[in-house]
Structure 1
């Protein structure tokens, strides 16, 4: 990862996080519960450190290598950037959608991903709350896809900045005006749509898997426009007993087998 790329990613992250945190303070959808932030930010920090150790070049480095070696579909076809960049962003977004569904479907992957769903409130910090091993697996999947497709580094960089911003947005605890919410959900997964995905009701949590575009859920039959409980949807795991929220317990919890019950 080059210095300018790291600076761009960090500055864009800090800007977007600050904007949504301020909007949550100004127009909260629910009362703020900031005690969880220590665990959420701690998981994100540990995941970032693990990624830097295992994947020091990140997905953009894989894209640069694939371009230099002529590896991947786009490189073999010599697609122009005007085609390969937007196409690459769309393909990566669809990949993240199906990856998300996979993490809900396969039991050992779900044990990692449930750390994210165990948050009993959803706000901008929840967009960073993923188990470090999930960070690692997600990067591995993305890197393999980038190499096979031969995506340009520009597409990968723009996608990662975009995806990070969308994840912070759709997890944010912002009370959007209803008219704006209706317009945005035609294209994007909004906070209201994503709260349905974080419902304790198992069937509701199997909807709205998208992290940015809402079209994938519409195309693949997983879109749900409203929770059964409306705006009073209960958040957390679809289990009688919720996970403790301490950082060290959340790190260990995927490796502790627990019987889960669907609702």
Structure 2
């Protein structure tokens, strides 16, 4: 069993890295928007270039890589081996996998939404949104606190629903592949994007979620399927344009160490009142 799990995790890493490389190169070959240097935060400071931004995002990702074998994977394995055994026989095999994926995607929609509506969760999730431009590296940019909180929440779901470890890994792979795609700066044809958007989250949909306007940031919460936002009334009517401002209103990007410490600094008021302007 351990050998099988190790093999699955290795395949997961290989598939995700190949997908990342594909979109990282493709978005630079055919970009949808042109990135501009980030403005300096202090006097005498140089603007932050595109490669420095990517390096900062990858540094945040590397800070999380060590958490996977130490905490995230063991916690997921423990939850799957101690899960409640109540699932009927028909909820297994390929049918069970499809049901698990749909349920997990619905639950991650609500978890993502909670990260925007609950102040404590937003403190950590805000680090992801502070990126001033979107590309595939943004999909890997999360604060380690959010990674740990997400792992704990997912473990609870696995325990209650009895979700097999295999279903969790397949879902994680799909989430990562979709995240790299939807954060990418790859220019797609209008017809292609429209057709895809009826079923899955596309770059145009997710770029609006990163729009530095509160009403758009607090919308388009879907991860894989786009119909959850339509069902639960959280779709934005805003359409993406090439120079759409990305980030969080009234809050500037910070350097790596500032981003790591930001969630732990005392701040007053709700995330909406503190960081963004209602419009």
TM-score normalized by the length of structure 1: 0.91
Match of 1:12 in 2: 15
Q: How many residues align?
A: 254
Q: Deviations over 1:231-253 (max 9, x none)?
A: 432101022x3131x21111001
1:91-130 correspondence to structure 2 within 5 Å? 91-130=103-142
SS in 1 for 2:122: helix
1:226 aligned to 2:234? no
Question: How many Å separate the matches in 1 of 2:78 and 2:180?
Answer: 24
Shift of 1:25: 1.4
Question: How many Å separate the matches in 2 of 1:61 and 1:86?
Answer: 22
Q: Deviations over 1:71-112 (max 9, x none)?
A: 2442xx233323321100111111111000000001111111
RMSD: 1.7
Shift of 1:42: 1.2
Query: Which of 116, 123, 145 does residue 157 from structure 2 map onto?
Result: 145
Shift of 1:61: 5.1
TM-score normalized by the length of structure 2: 0.86
Match of 1:40 in 2: 57
Q: Which runs of 4+ in 1 moved over 4 A?
A: none
Question: How many Å separate the matches in 1 of 2:158 and 2:60?
Answer: 26
Shift of 1:124: 0.2
Question: How many Å separate the matches in 1 of 2:23 and 2:237?
Answer: 23
Question: How many Å separate the matches in 1 of 2:260 and 2:86?
Answer: 38
Question: How many Å separate the matches in 2 of 1:192 and 1:121?
Answer: 13
Question: How many Å separate the matches in 2 of 1:151 and 1:56?
Answer: 15
Match of 1:54 in 2: 71
Question: How many Å separate the matches in 1 of 2:148 and 2:201?
Answer: 24
Q: Which runs of 5+ in 1 are unaligned?
A: none
Match of 1:30 in 2: 33
